[in-house]
Amino acid sequence: MNAKKEHKPVDRRKFIQNGMRLTLGASLVGVTGLASLKLSANDYVWQLDPFKCVYCGRCADYCVLTPSAVKCVHAYDLCGYCDLCGGYLKPDANALSTAAENQLCPTAAIKRKFVEDPYFEYEIEEDLCIGCAKCVEGCSSFGNGSLHLQVRHDLCVNCNECSIARVCPADAFERVPVSSPYKIKGDFQAENNNPDPA
């Protein structure tokens, strides 16, 4: 008996099928590789510098997403925990309360919680935040500036040309390395490698 396997000639159909499989596999590997390279450490994403921001409100209107990928974030270590909070209450509010008519935020995205007399804690509900910067203006003008805006990278689609950056009057938008995607105020700034500032 001949132990040698008999060489079977490949027919044309089989050859084309194998070729297609190989091409598809190579394409998938290539696309996956390119995708992984897209957000490599050397790549850049959009972010806004809160120290340049002039709270013009355009982040809410010009982002390609609705609501905007720009959200308010809170540097708790800078916050004064004031009862009379310029970022939460309208100027000359009737009362220092959570009533709608006293709140500055148009979507009630800031939650106010009593800690102990005379301190209150303020928390941003990001699903409701539209990035209008009204609270940022109030906090920066009358408080410590702990409320500030940031591009949230779990939402941002990282357009090649950011439509907010095009209209930002303060040139606050810039490309930052994906390894340091946030420019957070306060002590958290030292740890801005953390991709989630919340």
Nearer to another protein, 33 or 169 (CB): 169
Minimum CB separation from another protein for residue 169, in Å? Answer: 12
Of 58 and 153, nearer to another protein (C-beta) is 58
- Closer residue to another protein, CB minimum distance, 113 or 166: 113
CB of 86 to another protein, least distance (A): 7
Footprint of another protein (CB under 8 A) = 80, 82-84, 86, 91-93, 95, 97-100, 103, 108, 111-114, 116-120, 137, 140-142
Task: Give the shortest CB-77-to-another protein separation in angstroms.
Answer: 14
Residue 128: both structure tokens together: 């409701």
Taken as a whole, the chain contains a residue count of: 198
* Token pair listed for 123: 């928390």
Q: From the CB of 82, what's the least distance to another protein, in Å?
A: 7
With vertex at residue 22, the alpha carbon angle to CA 17 and CA 27, rounded to the nearest 5 degrees, is 125
Q: Closest Cα partner for 88 from 127, 56, 134, 53?
A: 134
What is the separation of C-alpha 124 from the centre of its chain, rounded to a whole number of angstroms? 14
Q: How far are the Cα atoms of 1, 50, 165, 169, 185 from residue 59, in angstroms, in the given order?
A: 81, 12, 9, 11, 18
Cβ-based nearer residue to another protein, 47 or 103: 103
